[in-house]
Amino acid sequence: MFDIGFSELVVIAVVALIVIGPERLPKVARTVGHLLGRMQRYVNDVKADISREMEFEELRKLQASMQDAARSIEQSVNTEVGTAKDALNDITTSANQVVSEPAGVTQTAPFVAASETPASAAAPVAQLELGLETTSAPTQKP
C-alpha cells in the first residue's frame, strides 16, 4: 500500500526505540497495530459499500431494461391482438351482410338423405326439389 521495504521498517523501528524508549515501545506498537487494523477495516468497509452501490446501480439498470422490454412485448402483443380483432370484426361484418342480403338468393329445401326418408315420400320430395308439379298416381282397385 505504501511501498515500504524491510530495510525502511528496520530504520523506523530503531528510531522509534530511541525516541519512545524501551519501556513504552510495546504499548505504542500495540496501539499502532490496533489503529492500523481499524484503518484496514474502515477501508474494507468503504470498498464494500462502493461495491454494493455499484452492484445496486447495475441491478437498477437491469430492472429498467427488463421493464422496458416487458412494455414493448406487451405493446406488440396488444397491437397483434387488436389487428386480429379488427380482422375478425371485418369478417363478421361481411358475413352478416351476405346473410342479410336476400336479393338474388333463393332458398332451397334442406337436403334430406335418402336413407332418412321412406320410399313413398322420396318421389314427391325429389319432384319438389326439381320444381316439378306433383300429380297423384291413380289408385288401383282390386
Q: What is the pLDDT of residues 17-34, one digit of tens each?
A: 899 888 998 899 899 999
Q: State the pLDDT at residue 47.
A: 96
Helix or strand run (H / E) with residue 38: helix 25-100
Q: State the pLDDT at residue 62.
A: 96
Q: State the pLDDT at residue 6.
A: 86
Which residue matches cell numbers 371485418? 90
Q: Grade residue 100 by pLDDT with cuts at 50, 70 and 90.
A: confident
Q: What is the pTM of this model?
A: 0.42
Burial class of residue 107 in the structure, from the number of CB atoms within 10 Å of its CB (0-12 exposed, 13-18 middle, 19+ buried): exposed
Q: State the pLDDT at residue 126.
A: 47
- pLDDT tens, position by position, 21-68: 889 988 998 999 999 999 999 999 999 999 999 999 999 999 999 999
Q: State the pLDDT at residue 56.
A: 95
Region for 3 from its dihedrals, namely left if φ exceeds 0, alpha if ψ lies in -120 to 50, beta otherwise: left
3-class secondary structure, 20:
helix
- pLDDT tens, position by position, 119-136: 554 445 444 454 445 455
